[in-house]
A and B are shown apart, each in its own frame.
Chain A
Amino acid sequence: SAVISQKPSRDICQRGTSLTIQCQVDSQVTMMFWYRQQPGQSLTLIATANQGSEATYESGFVIDKFPISRPNLTFSTLTVSNMSPEDSSIYLCSVVPGASTEAFFGQGTRLTVV
């Protein structure tokens, strides 16, 4: 199993600013995933963060808008840059530890851009 601490849990930000979301895992994991979940909708994968290499972004998401850091095997950050109201959403990090196939999630960051 894995326990993920994600912060902040929520924030209200001005448009044009940036917010960095942090995820700390209690064990070493190879891949960490960042998702966006808009109200009433599914989990949309933003990118996969690998330690020691650049993140892999899904279609529709770019590094300039969502830069990701992965300095070690237990930590990652996602930055939402130059925010607009359309970025208002819940952002979640997730891991699939070791030989497991179960995905574990952080508690999410509820972002509101005004």
Chain B
Amino acid sequence: GENVEQHPSTLSVQEGDSAVIKCTYSDSASNYFPWYKQELGKRPQLIIDIRSNVGEKKDQRIAVTLNKTAKHFSLHITETQPEDSAVYFCAAGQGGSYIPTFGRGTSLIVHP
């Protein structure tokens, strides 16, 4: 089955800095890579995703990159704000019959 590794487990930045979270996956058949944000006491929610036919996707201050050869993908958040503080989960799986495998999560803390 799929195995997803996520680093770092905790990331502390100053407001305005950039934050990068990295994940690796094991199953070369995986073709869908979403990122979820979970604010304290709330449910995880999708913030951005990428499919294996593209190398980068951007949505305002967040972007995701994918390197299929190396089997890793990353979340980039620019100009971080205190409201970006949350736990971020990466996931990998195969579209169609999709059961996501989640990384262990990264607790992002943005200091004002």
Task: List residues of chain A with CB under 8 Å of any chain B CB.
Answer: 31, 33, 40-43, 45, 48, 92, 96, 101-103, 105-108
- Known contacts A40-B107, A42-B89; A102/B102 CB under 8 A: no
Residue pair B104, A41 in contact (C-beta under 8 Å): yes
Residue pair A105, B44 in contact (C-beta under 8 Å): yes
Task: List residues of chain B with CB under 8 Å of any chain A CB.
Answer: 32, 34, 36, 42-46, 49, 89, 91, 93, 95, 98-105, 107
CB distance from A61 to the nearest CB of B (A): 15
Q: Complex formed: what's the CA distance from A43 to B32 in Å?
A: 18
CB distance from A52 to the nearest CB of B (A): 17
Q: Which residues of B have CB within 8 Å of A33?
A: 99
- Known contacts A42-B89, A42-B103; A101/B32 CB under 8 A: yes
Main SS class of interface, A? loop
Residue pair B43, A43 in contact (C-beta under 8 Å): no
Q: Complex formed: what's the CA distance from A92 to B89 in Å?
A: 15
Q: Write the chain A residue with the least CB distance to B103.
A: A42
Q: Which residues of B have CB within 8 Å of A41?
A: 104-105
16 contacts between A and B (CB under 8 A): A45-B101, A92-B43, A96-B100, A101-B32, A101-B49, A101-B93, A101-B95, A102-B34, A102-B49, A103-B34, A103-B36, A103-B91, A103-B98, A105-B44, A105-B45, A107-B43
Residue pair A42, B102 in contact (C-beta under 8 Å): yes
Q: Complex formed: what's the CA distance from A106 to B98 in Å?
A: 18
Residue pair B44, A96 in contact (C-beta under 8 Å): no
Q: Complex formed: what's the CA distance from A102 to B47 in Å?
A: 10
* Contacts beyond the supplied A41-B104, A42-B103, A103-B36: 9 A-B pairs with Cβ under 8 Å: A43-B44, A43-B89, A43-B102, A92-B44, A96-B99, A101-B32, A101-B34, A103-B34, A106-B43
